[in-house]
Structures are given as C-alpha cells and as structure tokens.
Amino acid sequence: MPTVELGAENFESTVSDNEIVLVDFWASWCGPCRQFSPIYDAASEEHPEIVFGKVDTEAEQALAGAANITSIPTLMAFKKGNLVFSQPGALPAPALKQVIDAVVELDIDKALAEHASKESGE
C-alpha cells in the first residue's frame, strides 16, 4: 500500500482506526529524510497490512510540535493506538525491517497489562 499523507485532520483517526501505523516525520529540505524516503516507501509496498503515514513537519508544524519532534526524520510506530516506538534518524532497510517485525510481534495487550500492574505497584 502506498504511503498516506497525514496531517492534523487525519492523524488521530488513522492511528486509532488501524492495527499498526508507522509515521515518518520529515521535511523536503532534510537530506537524511530524502535518503530514508525510498526505503520507507519500499517497506510500505512490502507490508500492505500496515499503514505507512508521512507528516511533512513544515506543513504540519503544530502536529510535529504536539508529537515532540525535535529531530527529523523521526519514525514512530503505533499499535492499537499506542505509541510503541519512536526514534529520530534515517534507518537503513534492515533496521526498518527489524522495527516492523518487532511491532508486528509485540503483544500490545500483554505489554499494557504489565505496565498497568507496575503502575499500580503490584
């Protein structure tokens, strides 16, 4: 599936309405962003079951600020609406594959339950 442009109007619904969403925060003037883009686009074609979104930080400054983006590119991964990965920097294809595999394999319900039990002091 091709990448989806995300902005303030569709970011929240995209993240909450899909099982897994990866988001690339980028800008056209950013060299590493331009290097990462074809790798990200290729991964989106290899994984049609995952939504691959892109946020242009220049056009969506408020959204980038709300997401605490301080360096680009930044890759975020959401599973069942929960942020499970966030890292700045352009990833090579093998590293992106590792992130995707880890997110797919993550048992988010178990992780959330474990986190909740730690928070309650059990």
Residues labelled as active-site residues: 30, 33
Q: Which helix (H) or strand (E) holds 116?
A: helix 108-119
DSSP helix/strand/coil, 115: helix
CA nearest neighbour of 107 among 76, 80, 77, 75 = 80
| Cβ burial 13-24 (10 Å sphere, 16+ → b, else e) | ebbeebebbbbb
Q: Which helix (H) or strand (E) holds 66?
A: helix 61-66
The alpha carbon of 89 is separated from its chain's Cα centroid by a whole number of angstroms, namely: 12
